[in-house]
Structure 1
Amino acid sequence: MDWNCQQSNYKGDMIAFAEIIILAIPLTIATRAIILAVALAADAIIGEPDILWRHLPHPVVIFGRMIKTISASWHSSHITGYRRRIRGLAAIILLVLIAILGGSGLAALAKVIGDMTDIGAWPVIITEAILVTILLAGRSLDQHVRDVAHALNSASRQDDLTAARQAVSMIVGRNPEQLDAPAICRASIETTAENLSDGVVAPALYYLLLGLPGIIGYKMINTADSMIGYKSARWLAFGWAAARLDDVANLLPARITGWLIVIAALLPQPAQAARAFRIMWRDAGLHRSPNAGWPEAAMAGALNIVLAGPRKYGARMSTDVPLNRKGRIAASADIFSALNYLWRVTAIIIISLLAIGFWPYFWPYL
């Protein structure tokens, strides 16, 4: 074989490898819709067995270690704020690229295994179903928020809120020692609404549209925001890019979540849906976050309670505007109602995904 032929074969192999990476999502949207519906149902029913993560690191834990390592190397208080911001931008770009390439590589590897073993797309389908189930957070959110409600209901005295404060500290960033019972209820419901968007709707949407690279890239962005996207003196400059990218990534999912809560409110009685829509449309823009106000305001309207308002983060007191100002004070029963909306919205998504997934099969007969 002469040199030109060898060079041609080498180029052909490189092109073939590039095609595997670029086309690492061989599944159609219809197939991904079915996979996603199964993953959402599996997360709702099974969740994530604790025994699994005693022996293996959770993907989000791996993301956290990567973020921590890069932040420790690139972040310095001895450089100007502008340079810290540039380094933070470079860090989040690198992290997201690694996540996207990792997702593409996993999908490509599963496809290669399927091609080599003549079992078609099944390795891809199984790999993606498992990973998507792991990266959804509906059951985990339910368990943590439900713990708060049970702690409130189990308190021997109204002022004995130690267990409830400990439970709520696991899901919010504010100082739990300053929270009374209504504030603990508000914090739990706000977390349910916001994480319904961040932990269920957003990853589901990015997987449906972009496959494994989409959902893994989104989870990296969301994890980085939760670790370095603070407005504290330490992270304000370095975490600026991560926080802004998270805002952009959640623009559409947050609004979809708000609308899904409104739709879910139709089931008990249309009046609740009308109120949820009215409060969402009026108050979503009052929230300090460009995104969290949509699901939180919709939830406040659906339950007819006051959410948000001033709260304390460490030594800093926020001046947040209340959502649904004329609503009633939240109680522990409202936490269970908010979780009920979490699962109603999940059910709506699953039904919609199954319709998308099976539509191509039924369309010829309609």
Structure 2
Amino acid sequence: MSVALLLVCAMCLDAALGEPDWLWSRLRHPAVLIGQGIGWLEKRLNHSGQRRIKGVVVLMLLVLVACALGQFLTLFGSLIEIIVCAILLAQKSLVTHVRDVGDGLRASLPEGRAMVARIVSRDTTDMSETQVARSAIESAAENLSDGVVAPAFWFLIAGLPGLLVYKAVNTADSMIGYRTERYREFGWASARVDDLLNLIPARLTCVMIVALSGQWGRWSDILGDARKHISPNAGWPEAAMARALNVALAGPRSYDGQMRDLAWVNGDAPRNIGAYEVFRACDMLWKVWGLALALLSVWVVINLVF
């Protein structure tokens, strides 16, 4: 069975089942296990001197273990590959979490804040309705790239080893890739390699959103906003999503009680948004998934015929 066909099957399985509570309430999710391993290493190594070197060693260890595990799992056949790939894709769970924010906002502002706090790291206690909606849409755009397109891309390129390496590096970046006093040196390697692994997927995500929303005429504006973003990758899907929905994203936000004056994305568009725009973002998530599935399916058919 070709890798593309395996990926098509995994995408459909993830879309159908997502992350069922009955399973992950009894077992530890692989991403949780990866995170626990990273946390264990960080507590024991991230102190004293040579923190950057120690961080490089941790990253190399993660990559080697993930690659070896991926190779081992392929020995059990296509079904295991499909299941593992589906588990590490996040399409349905992403849509569910973003939609929960929209449902929360429809119920009440405090409920919306509680739901968005599950998917963003910024301060949510004093968020307005607009800020809650904006945060959810930004998270949707960024995680569409990080949690769906990038894992699928690396599985297609390098099978299970590639997928597991990506998930290990991405998890490390989300835990230790911050520019804080504690993590600046230790997480440097993880952050840089994560940027590299997401370079192509972020731009693929952007192109798919632009293609589906017919915003090719605003490509120069999207490019300009993407380059102003603090992340070399997250700005691409975010700028495309902002144009697709005709909303302003990013802008000032608070982290750990400190307000950060970040650049606006599509700043001339409406800034007063709410649940309706969140639901439209969810629709776009499924449209991108559908486009990716269609392209992969065409590729599978071409390979079967020719």
Whether TM exceeds 0.5 here: the answer is yes
1:133 and 2:133 matched? no
Superposition deviation, residue 278 in structure 1 = 4.2
Match of 2:261 among 319, 330, 334: 319
Select between 279-288 and 195-204 the one with higher mean Cα deviation: 279-288
1:277 and 1:301 in contact (8 A); partners too: no
2:105 and 2:274 in contact (8 A); partners too: no
User: For 1:235, what is the secondary structure of its paired residue?
Assistant: coil
Q: Equivalents in 2 of 1:137, 1:256: separation in Å?
A: 17
Q: Equivalents in 1 of 2:227, 2:248: separation in Å?
A: 15
Structure 1 stretches lacking a partner, 5+ long? 1-26, 111-123, 156-160, 267-272
Superposition deviation, residue 38 in structure 1 = 1.5
Q: Which has the larger radius of gyration?
A: 1
What letter is aligned with 2:7? L
1:128-207 maps to which residues of 2 (within 5 A)?
128-155=81-108, 161-207=109-155
What letter is aligned with 1:215? L
Match of 1:343 among 282, 286, 290: 286
1:276 and 1:297 in contact (8 A); partners too: no
Alpha-carbon displacement from aligned partner over 1:14-56 (angstroms, at most 9, x marks no partner): xxxxxxxxxxxxx6xxx11111112112211221211111222
**Equivalent residue for 1:247?**
195
**Equivalent residue for 1:261?**
209
Q: Percent identity?
A: 42
1:285 and 1:293 in contact (8 A); partners too: yes
Alpha-carbon displacement from aligned partner over 1:217-251 (angstroms, at most 9, x marks no partner): 00001111111111222112211111111111101
1:1-366 maps to which residues of 2 (within 5 A)?
31-76=2-47, 79-80=48-49, 83-107=50-74, 109-110=75-76, 124-155=77-108, 161-266=109-214, 273-274=215-216, 277-329=219-271, 330-363=273-306
Superposition deviation, residue 73 in structure 1 = 1.2
Superposition deviation, residue 317 in structure 1 = 2.3
Superposition deviation, residue 178 in structure 1 = 3.0
User: For 1:200, what is the secondary structure of its paired residue?
Assistant: helix
What letter is aligned with 2:289? T
1:193 and 1:299 in contact (8 A); partners too: yes
> How many residues in Structure 1 have an aligned counterpart in Structure 2?
305
Select between 37-46 and 255-264 the one with higher mean Cα deviation: 37-46
User: For 1:55, what is the secondary structure of its paired residue?
Assistant: coil
2:133 and 2:277 in contact (8 A); partners too: yes
1:175 and 1:314 in contact (8 A); partners too: yes
Superposition deviation, residue 281 in structure 1 = 2.0
Structure 2 stretches lacking a partner, 5+ long? none
Superposition deviation, residue 195 in structure 1 = 0.3
1:89 and 1:241 in contact (8 A); partners too: yes
TM-score normalised over the length of structure 1? 0.81
Alpha-carbon displacement from aligned partner over 1:121-160 (angstroms, at most 9, x marks no partner): xxx21011100100000111111111111110111xxxxx
Q: Equivalents in 1 of 2:171, 2:304: separation in Å?
A: 38
Q: Equivalents in 2 of 1:298, 1:37: separation in Å?
A: 25
**Equivalent residue for 1:16?**
none
Q: Equivalents in 2 of 1:216, 1:95: separation in Å?
A: 10
Superposition deviation, residue 177 in structure 1 = 1.2
Q: Equivalents in 1 of 2:246, 2:104: separation in Å?
A: 23
Alpha-carbon displacement from aligned partner over 1:287-330 (angstroms, at most 9, x marks no partner): 01000000000000111110111111113322211011100123
What letter is aligned with 1:191? S
1:136 and 1:204 in contact (8 A); partners too: yes
Q: Equivalents in 2 of 1:298, 1:92: separation in Å?
A: 31
User: For 1:164, what is the secondary structure of its paired residue?
Assistant: helix
What letter is aligned with 2:246? N
Q: Equivalents in 2 of 1:259, 1:276: separation in Å?
A: 12
Alpha-carbon displacement from aligned partner over 1:53-90 (angstroms, at most 9, x marks no partner): 122211101101110111111111xx24xx11111111
Select between 33-42 and 256-265 the one with higher mean Cα deviation: 33-42
